[in-house]
Amino acid sequence: MRATAIRTVTTVVIGAGHAGLAMSRCLSERSIDHVVLERGEVAHTWRTERWDSLRLLTPNWQSRLPGFQYNGSDPEGYRTLAEVIEFIGSYAKAISAPVRTHTTVASARSTESGYLVRTDQGDWLCRAIVVASGACNIADVPTFANSVPPSIMQLTAQEYRNPEQLADGGVLVVGASSSGTQIAYEIHRSGRPVTLSVGEHIRAPRVYRGKDLEWWMDAAGLLDERYDEMDDIARARRVPSLQLAGTPDRSTLDINALTEIGVKLVGRLGGISEDGKAQFSGSLRNMCALSDLKMGRLLDRIDEWAQKNGFDDAAGPPHRLPPTRVEPAPPLGMDLTIGEVKAIIWATGYRPDYSWLEVPVLDRKGRLRHDGGIVSSPGMYLMGTQFMRRRKSALIDGAGDDARDLSAHLMSYLDTRPARKMA
């Protein structure tokens, strides 16, 4: 039953993932009263929307939240799903975050003095609002998925849990970024032959010159690059995730690692005809060439930084991975009606869900209009999306600096807009 009294609070934070919690900690430090509304339990999407064997692709030491960090015995390791849930849950407790669980936001709209947030547990009036509901709410699936024969099981990366969900037989995995490569590897190893459809992807070695790639990205300042320093921030925000995995043996899970165990490659899935024939692009070779070249440029930047900052002796010698191997004539089509493929996994990206946001802050493509997390509606802030404010904004390690910046802005916003009496 909906509570009849409307509660007031200075700030509502929507989402109790690591981003919402980091913001909560910064608000508490500034004595700004607030509430964190969470539709499930703390770390909800880690509990309900990820596959069983998932590990973070950032090493354990690289989860530095405001007032909290990893204190375990395996700093170079990669946290399992259960460990991530435990980590975020511990964080919420350690900072005594004012979380209201099992509270789903139905809408948020502007009022005279701020915002009205309606939930299934009652309404909140607030002067400022932080959208920390995540960037991966909805799995993107192309519309031609409707032409997939009904006998083929379809799962998004959000719905996939483990290979046992799938019948025996072939599997088509669509998408070769971090999720797609990990899922393809696991399913192929389970004895179900995988065909991987490859579009744009960002190849990277797990370990380079003896150090974790994420160590280099952090040390060389790449992760701290700001949104307003980029030539084309709109494009940088659309770039798919690094093709990295938290492999316990720290091996590089790239396309060559997949073809080595027998995964078959095809180009980007361009369409599925009405009679169930999948069409793959003839651009596979260039997609792989683009990715190899991009990786070369990243490693060049790292080598340059290492040389200028005296790391050349401590680190191993510069080296390059062998080019991605592509056969001369990859298949351009696949008949999905003949029964070879029993399942399709869509690892084709995600988009946020802003359907509850009844404030006109979306552009014509449904993206939030913001300036480094400062949304185009007064007193509204965004957290945790790809390159929102810094290259690391979508990483656990990125929430802290963003929350510090935005809570400072929020505080000065409140100071310049004294609260009106709310009738």
Partner 1 sequence: MAEASSTANNGVNVAALIAAREALTEAPAAAQFKWRAACEWKDGTHSHSTVEGFYGLGQEQHHKRTFTFDADHPEIFASEDKGATPVEYVLVGLASCLTAGIAAVAQHRNIQLRSVTATLEGDMDVQGILGIDDDVRNGFGGIKVTYKIDADAKREDIEALVAQSQKRSAVYDIVTNPTNVTVVVD
Tokens 């003949």 correspond to: 338
- Closest to partner 1 by CB, 316 vs 333, is 333
**Those residues with Cβ within 8 angstroms of residue 353's Cβ, 6 or more apart along the chain or in another chain:** 133, 137, 138
Least Å from the CB of residue 180 to partner 1? 20
Would you list the DSSP string of 346-393?
E---EE---TTB-SS-B-TTSPBPEETTEESSTTEEE-S-TTSSBTTT
- Closest to partner 1 by CB, 128 vs 202, is 202
Contact in structure between 36 and 99 (CB atoms under 8 Å): yes
Least Å from the CB of residue 90 to partner 1? 44
- Closest to partner 1 by CB, 141 vs 289, is 289
Least Å from the CB of residue 328 to partner 1? 8
Residues 378-414 as b or e (16 or more Cβ within 10 Å = b): ebbbbbbbbbbbbbbbbbbbbbbbbbbbbbeebbebb
Element (H, E) at 294: helix 284-308
- Closest to partner 1 by CB, 144 vs 311, is 144
Least Å from the CB of residue 361 to partner 1? 18
- Closest to partner 1 by CB, 33 vs 327, is 327
- Closest to partner 1 by CB, 76 vs 371, is 371
- Closest to partner 1 by CB, 33 vs 275, is 275
- Closest to partner 1 by CB, 207 vs 289, is 289
Q: Dihedral of CA 136/359/372/130: which sign?
A: negative
The rounded distance, in Å, linking the Cα atoms of 125 and 115 is: 6
Tell me how far apart the terminal alpha carbons of the chain are, to the nearest angstrom: 24
Task: List for the chain the helix, strand, coil content (%; round to 5).
Answer: 30, 25, 50
Please give the biggest Cα pair distance in the chain: 72
Least Å from the CB of residue 283 to partner 1? 5
Least Å from the CB of residue 125 to partner 1? 36
Q: Which residues bind partner 1 (CB under 8 A)?
A: 231, 267-268, 270-271, 279, 281-283, 286, 289-290, 293, 296-297, 328-329, 364
**In this structure, what DSSP letter does residue 229 have?**
G
Least Å from the CB of residue 286 to partner 1? 5
